[in-house]
Amino acid sequence: MTSGLLVSRRQLLAGVVGVGAAAGLSACGLGPGPNPVGASAIAAAESARATTGKVRDFVLRAAPAQVDLGGTVVTTWAYGDSLPGTAFRATAGDRVRVAFGNELPEATSVHWHGLAIRNDMDGVPGVTTPEVAAGGSFGFDFVVPDPGTYWFHPHHGMQLDRGLYAPFIVDDPADPGDYDHEWVVVLDDWTDDVGPSPEQIYADLKAAGGSGGMGGMNGMGGMDGMGGMDGGDVTYPLYLVNGRAPNDPDVLTAKPGQRVRLRFINAGADTIFDVALAGHDLTVTHTDGYPVTPVTTSLLRIGMGERYDAVVTLADGAFPLVAQPVGKLGQAQAIVRTGSGTAPMARWRPSELDAYPLTVDALRADPGTALPAKDPDSVQDLLLSGSMGPYVWTINGRTYDDTVPLTIRQGQAGRLRIRNMSMMPHPIHLHGHTFQLGSAGGTGPRKDTVLVPAMGAVDVDFAAENPGQWMVHCHNAYHAEAGMMTRLDYVT
Ligand SMILES: [Cu+2]
């Protein structure tokens, strides 16, 4: 009887993956899974990565800062003194070293979002990389494997909803790019030092059980008229493009007829954005770093943590580049200027916002970037659910402190069946991998963050080639903090 119970327990811990050995029967969901891979597997994976032999050294400082949001100066936390922080730039295969100093009054971490780097540099305290204490420092050192648009931010409480974010652009030596300019466009929802702090909003959501009505909370009413999508849990006083509010926006300049590559990053904590450039169509070329068959749209939906690249040929004049928070009032805006025309007023609403937004369903992987076709060795479910009262968000019915990690063995083909049982969309992010929507070898795009619609379902396949313990979580910072996280553990 005892051994029967043990077998059941092991099967439960291991999901559908068999377990070879007897050790590792941790009763605590957060403890190491059965036989977690160790440092040697992580080091071996790192030494197997193709490298250019070039080393890029960066210095990064997280510190309190005064930032001008465009007429509103706030005291917040930022990387350096700018919002967004200064972009990192490297070439695929470069070894990146980051001398990080934490001048914040509390511990922090740096997570390199979307980069499939070595596990022990992934920046998740308690799982991959030690947290960096107040006044402390840490030296990151990793090879960046894949080109594309990435970014970095803390993986620590509600810190992401302050000003701690910056782009990380990885160039493709095989693709110099057919465009005259490249603009990184970072979207954000802002409350710190204008409205309540992120920590206060989270505390209010927990205390009120999400019944709504208090400052900072969105209540249950957010609907955008497109399938009744609830936009988020938080009402923000400001929405930003490149750290600027619409009153005094970022101005991006070029000449008429020039081709521009736009690299969109949604750094918001609780806001999905629909993005349009007035008077222009956007030709979407990449998502989450990976190329797709180009598709043209006037409106593009971007969930938290997602990135999209688009090219556009610019007309003559001044055009608002608008990001509409889905299900919320307000607008983020920059200005694209190629001529001497009058800039449109702040919060002018271009007709492109009335179009139906392009979402991942319309994207096809560039054929060269599909995963090798393979039936999954391991199929595991991620059921997303939660409630506003009490304010709790779960994966497979459990909050993170009670989670049963998913498991995989190195070399296996994995499938995650993500089922959203809630009335809100959730951007689900897998660290350390870029999965393929649908099935491996199919036509779905490669991504690391996928916006799963309310009551919707998405299957993703991944190749288990990056050993370690990896977070799988909702990229709504409030949902993650309220429990909507689990792990994918490589086991032997
Ligand atoms: Cu969520």
Tens-place pLDDT, residues 433-482: 999 999 999 999 999 999 999 999 999 999 999 999 999 999 999 999 99
Cα(259) to centroid(ligand 1), Å: 36
In whole angstroms, what is the distance from residue 182 CA to residue 169 CA?
Answer: 11
Cα(392) to centroid(ligand 1), Å: 10
Cα(99) to centroid(ligand 1), Å: 32
Is the predicted pLDDT of residue 1 greater than 70, yes or no?
A: no
**What pLDDT, on a 0 to 100 scale, did the predictor assign at position 34?**
58
pLDDT exceeding 90 applies to what percent of the chain? Answer: 81
Structural domain 55-167, CATH architecture: Sandwich (2.60)
Cα(143) to centroid(ligand 1), Å: 30
Cα(456) to centroid(ligand 1), Å: 13
Cα(6) to centroid(ligand 1), Å: 34
**What pLDDT, on a 0 to 100 scale, did the predictor assign at position 219?**
44
| Partners of residue 185 on adjacent β-strands | 264
At residue 7 the predicted structure's pLDDT band, cuts being 50, 70 and 90, is very low
Is the predicted pLDDT of residue 11 greater than 70, yes or no?
A: no
At residue 349 the predicted structure's pLDDT band, cuts being 50, 70 and 90, is confident
Cα(334) to centroid(ligand 1), Å: 27
Cα(485) to centroid(ligand 1), Å: 9
Is the predicted pLDDT of residue 383 greater than 50, yes or no?
A: yes
Cα(112) to centroid(ligand 1), Å: 20
Q: Which of 58-62, 221-225, 446-450 has the lowest mean pLDDT?
A: 221-225
pTM for this predicted structure: 0.90
Is the predicted pLDDT of residue 216 greater than 60, yes or no?
A: no
Cα(168) to centroid(ligand 1), Å: 24
Cα(386) to centroid(ligand 1), Å: 9
Helix H or strand E segment including 44: helix 39-47
**Arithmetic mean of pLDDT over the chain:** 89
Cα(160) to centroid(ligand 1), Å: 15
The CA-CA-CA angle for residues 241, 243, 249, to 5°, reads 60
Cα(171) to centroid(ligand 1), Å: 31
Cα(195) to centroid(ligand 1), Å: 22
Cα(286) to centroid(ligand 1), Å: 24
Q: Is 255 helix (H, G, I), strand (E, B) or coil?
A: coil
Question: pLDDT digit string (tens) for 109-158?
Answer: 999 999 999 999 999 998 988 899 999 999 999 999 999 999 999 999 99
At residue 3 the predicted structure's pLDDT band, cuts being 50, 70 and 90, is very low
Cα(402) to centroid(ligand 1), Å: 17
Q: What's the token pair of residue 64?
A: 């309190």
- Torsion over CA of 46, 431, 162 and 63, rounded to 10 degrees? -10
367-490: CATH number: 2.60.40.420
CB-count exposure of residue 173 (10 Å: 0-12, 13-18, 19+): exposed
In whole angstroms, what is the distance from residue 276 CA to residue 476 CA?
Answer: 22
Q: Where in the chain is the domain with CATH 2.60.40.420?
A: 55-167, 181-362, 367-490
Question: pLDDT digit string (tens) for 158-213?
Answer: 999 999 999 999 999 888 788 999 999 999 999 999 999 999 999 999 998 744 43
Cα(213) to centroid(ligand 1), Å: 21
Cα(474) to centroid(ligand 1), Å: 5
Cα(266) to centroid(ligand 1), Å: 15
Is the predicted pLDDT of residue 375 greater than 90, yes or no?
A: yes
Compute the average pLDDT of residues 42-52.
95
Are the beta carbons of 476 and 430 closer than 8 angstroms?
A: no
Domain 181-362 has CATH 1.10.1270.20: no
With tokens 């990056």, the residue in question is 466
Q: Which of 318-322, 378-382, 387-391 has the lowest mean pLDDT?
A: 387-391
Cα(85) to centroid(ligand 1), Å: 25
Burial 242-279 (b: 16+ CB within 10 A, else e): bbbbbeebbebebeeeeebbbbbbbbbbbbbbbbbbbb
Compute the average pLDDT of residues 412-441.
97
**What pLDDT, on a 0 to 100 scale, did the predictor assign at position 304?**
98
Amino acid at 271: T
